[in-house]
Amino acid sequence: MIALVQRVAEASVTVAGRVSGAIGPGLLILLAVHRNDTPQEVDWMVRKCAHLRIFPDDVGRMNRSVMDTGGEALVVSQFTLYGDARKGHRPAFTRAAPPAKAEVLYDAFVAQLATKLGQPVPSGIFGAAMQVRLCNDGPVTIWLERPAPTRH
């Protein structure tokens, strides 16, 4: 599982001309599910995102999490984070989970993050073409990856 986490002043996602989710200060999380991911990767990633200390403390050091600040989170599915463009010019997405599996784990991630943060977590619409707007604060962007279990 991959989460590209951005500290934002604000962010929104629009689908077919309608805003499906918007937040003020907090985290924009672009989430990709690996074909071998399980609920254990979801649990790990939720904990990591919720406790990631990338917000400034009173002396300006990145020492506070979104939970500490009471910030919001917006989650957008983005299987293209698993794009492999090492060969040729067109990326291959063979490491990404098939849509039916990815959607279940994506929905679980959003629900668990909402529980962890104690507030609703808006999101994009899984599988839809979306436009994401953000004001990256810092800028701060962190790549988190939890390797999927190996299957033989």
Residues 23-69 pLDDT 10s: 999 999 999 999 999 999 999 999 999 999 999 999 999 999 999 99
Evaluate whether residue 115 is within a structural domain. Answer: yes
Rounded Cα distance, 61 and 53, in Å: 9
Evaluate whether residue 91 is within a structural domain. Answer: yes
Q: Which of 38, 80, 115, 131 is catalytic?
A: 80
Evaluate whether residue 150 is within a structural domain. Answer: no
Rounded Cα distance, 105 and 42, in Å: 7
Could you confirm whether 40 is annotated as catalytic? Answer: no
Q: What angle do CA 48, 12, 55 make, to 5 degrees?
A: 40
Q: Would you give the DSSP letter of residue 92?
A: B
Number of compact structural domains in the chain = 1
Could you confirm whether 6 is annotated as catalytic? Answer: no
Q: What is the mean pLDDT of the chain?
A: 96
Q: Which of 6, 14, 55, 79 is catalytic?
A: 79
Rounded Cα distance, 25 and 70, in Å: 9
Portion of the chain with pLDDT greater than 90, in percent: 95
The CATH number for 85's domain is 3.50.80.10
Evaluate whether residue 152 is within a structural domain. Answer: no
- pLDDT number for residue 151: 67
Could you confirm whether 131 is annotated as catalytic? Answer: no
Evaluate whether residue 141 is within a structural domain. Answer: yes
Q: Which of 14, 78, 109, 112 is catalytic?
A: 78
Evaluate whether residue 13 is within a structural domain. Answer: yes
Structure-token match 């499906």, residue found: 20
In the predicted structure, residue 152 carries a pLDDT above the cut 60:
no
Given a contact cutoff of 8 angstroms between Cβ atoms, the answer to whether 9 and 110 are in contact is: no
The pTM of the full predicted model, rounded to 2 decimals, is 0.95
Evaluate whether residue 117 is within a structural domain. Answer: yes
Give the structural domain span for 127: 2-145
Evaluate whether residue 151 is within a structural domain. Answer: no
